[in-house]
Structure 1
Amino acid sequence: MPHLLIRGISPEQIRGISMPLVADLALAFKCPEDHILLECLHTTACFGGELVPSYPFIEVNWFDRGQSVQDQAAECIDRHVRSLDIAEVEVAFRSYETNNYYANGVKLSATGEAELQSLKSENERLKDELQKARKALQSNPSNSNSYMSSKLYDALRE
């Protein structure tokens, strides 16, 4: 992920720009190059009772990485496609939610829920320990080191 669905541009043209395009997108998306998939879709467009060439259109399916990354990716895609002497191209982003995305029958958000819960628990424990340390400092400022762990004391000193 991300997955680019490409219409109206030949596979041969995309193959020609695929390596530099994927390298640039990997930098923008902050992901390995092998996580990016380019898929050229065969489309047939009809207009006025005739078959006409499909308009160049690229749909980026991804997990949202923020507006600045999206803007950077759109510019990157546009620049590489226009290097093929294609005058116009449209790029659209479709964002997936981890709660609605499954890999091998497992909801993607489920893989991170246990880790998130563990981090929340650890955060609560540290907040409690910090609160106790603050109370100890307030009640006996001359001997503050004896009431807190050395790890917490070092963190507070920083």
Structure 2
Amino acid sequence: MPHLLIRGVAPEQIRTISQSLVAELASLCQCPSDYIMLECLNTTACFDGEFVPSYPFIEVNWFDRGTLVQDQAAECIDRHIRSLGIPEAEVAFRIYESSNYYSNGRKLSEPLPNEDESGAIQAVLSENERLKDELQKARKALLNNQTSSQMSSKLYDALRE
């Protein structure tokens, strides 16, 4: 991800900028270049009863990367499209939320099951419980020692008088 849906620009034109566009977007998004998909959509536009060329429009579907990266990505896409001699184009972003995105039937926000990992987690939780018990025992022993040492000093003072 990101996934660019490109309308109104010929696939041959997109092919000529695809390597440099993808490399720059991968750098901006800090992701491998094979995470980025460019799709050229064949569209037919109609106006006033006639077929007309589709307006250059790029829709970017992705997970939120913040306003700064989004602004930089929009500028990058616009610059590459204009390098084709296209005088104007529009870029729009559609933000996906991991809780609403599924891959192979699994919600992206859910961790993948890993038996080794769950076993390690269980071991850490058990060790944590053991340490809590030891700490509780040490606190009780410390309180008992403080109480008995206080009584001993009181008894000592009483006997001295």
Regarding TM over 0.5, the answer is: yes
The residue that corresponds to 1:107 in the other structure is: 107
| Aligned AA (1:80) | H
Match of 2:55, SS state, is coil
Identity rate of aligned residues, in percent? 68
The residue that corresponds to 1:56 in the other structure is: 56
The residue that corresponds to 2:30 in the other structure is: 30
- Structure 1: 4+ residue segments shifted above 4 A: 112-115
Structure 2 Cα separation of the partners of residues 29 and 101 of structure 1 = 19
Structure 1 Cα separation of the partners of residues 112 and 55 of structure 2 = 39
Structure 2 Cα separation of the partners of residues 111 and 31 of structure 1 = 20
List per-residue Cα deviations over 1:38-87 (Å, max 9, x = no partner).
Answer: 00000000000000000000000000000000000000000000000000
The structure with more radius of gyration: 2
The residue that corresponds to 1:19 in the other structure is: 19
Structure 1 Cα separation of the partners of residues 92 and 113 of structure 2 = 30
The residue that corresponds to 2:44 in the other structure is: 44
RMSD: 2.4
Structure 1: runs of 5+ lacking an equivalent: 133-158
Structure 2: runs of 5+ lacking an equivalent: 136-161
Structure 1 Cα separation of the partners of residues 28 and 47 of structure 2 = 37
The residue that corresponds to 1:87 in the other structure is: 87
Match of 1:40, SS state, is strand
Match of 1:6, SS state, is strand
The residue that corresponds to 1:97 in the other structure is: 97
Structure 2 Cα separation of the partners of residues 107 and 34 of structure 1 = 21
The residue that corresponds to 2:68 in the other structure is: 68
Structure 1 Cα separation of the partners of residues 47 and 96 of structure 2 = 32
The residue that corresponds to 1:139 in the other structure is: none
Structure 2 Cα separation of the partners of residues 90 and 99 of structure 1 = 28
State the Cα distance separating 1:15 from its structure 2 match.
Answer: 0.2
TM-score where L is the length of structure 1: 0.71
How many corresponding residue pairs? 122
State the Cα distance separating 1:112 from its structure 2 match.
Answer: 7.0
| Aligned AA (2:47) | F
Structure 2 Cα separation of the partners of residues 101 and 112 of structure 1 = 14
TM-score where L is the length of structure 2: 0.70
Structure 1 Cα separation of the partners of residues 113 and 8 of structure 2 = 40
